[in-house]
Amino acid sequence: MTQLIYATGPWSGRQVKTHVPVRQVVEPTGTFVRGDFPSVKARRMVLYEELLERDFLHLCDFAPQVVNIQEQPFKFQYAMGNELRRYTPDFALTMADGSILVVEVKPADTLAKPAVREKFLYIKEAMYRQGHQFIVVTSKTIRAPHRLDNLKQLYRPQHEPLSMEHLQLLRQLNAQFGCQPISLSRLTATAGFSEPIFRLLAHGLVSCDLDQLISPDTLITLTTQETDYVFVDSL
């Protein structure tokens, strides 16, 4: 796969990278929704074919381990019984350590079907033999209670840049509170309003439990976020 260079910082909306999927993302039909996701990590519009894929991109954009995203990255052949089949993954994620993680996104009830699960076990084994890391991420992980709602709330401030005032505020908060968890309401009172706290949270410079709905009582830790929920393999 092509090695990509990741440029840090929020994406302003100007396309700075190009990627051509190996197959065309089809036009919307029936109840299916296709669209473009403005990704901070990919620094471009990433195409998605289902709302579940769009929701998965929210997780990827917030995960510090992910530095780039490619949709429909390559075509892959694998043997299942006496039949040679073709498969195109949903995404390939470039990780901070330079490795590539190939990802299939599936509804949990679809993956629970024996024939579907068997297919992806064959694919995973074939991927492993060719040196690819491969996981299937399901709706159970992507749409865990509260987490996705929190990430969508942080979506807009994630696309807004950090200023020197935000970084100075972070230093002030660290000097005042240290590493002890502080409620969002108390940090808001110190900062004067909530926007800079949400901006720091969206950029991963402070952290909280994203599996609990963010509220004034949410405890914020003044350390960088560490998330691994994106990489839960459902196979």
Tell me which H or E stretch contains 10. Answer: none
- CA 204, 206, 212, 214 dihedral sign is negative
Q: Which amino acid, one-letter code, is at 98?
A: G
**Residues for the chain: how many in total?**
235
Q: Would you say residue 27 has pLDDT above 60?
A: no
> Which of 152, 134, 142 is closest to 91 using CA atoms?
134
* Mean pLDDT estimate for the chain: 87
Q: Cβ atoms within 10 A of the Cβ of 11, count?
A: 21
pTM for this predicted structure: 0.84
Higher pLDDT among residues 27 and 148, named by residue: 148
**pLDDT recorded at residue 7:** 34
State pLDDT tens for residues 33-81: 789 999 999 999 999 999 999 999 999 999 999 999 999 999 989 988 8
Q: Would you say residue 8 has pLDDT above 50?
A: no
**pLDDT recorded at residue 80:** 87
State pLDDT tens for residues 151-167: 999 999 999 999 999 99
Give the C-alpha separation, 94 to 101, whole Å.
7
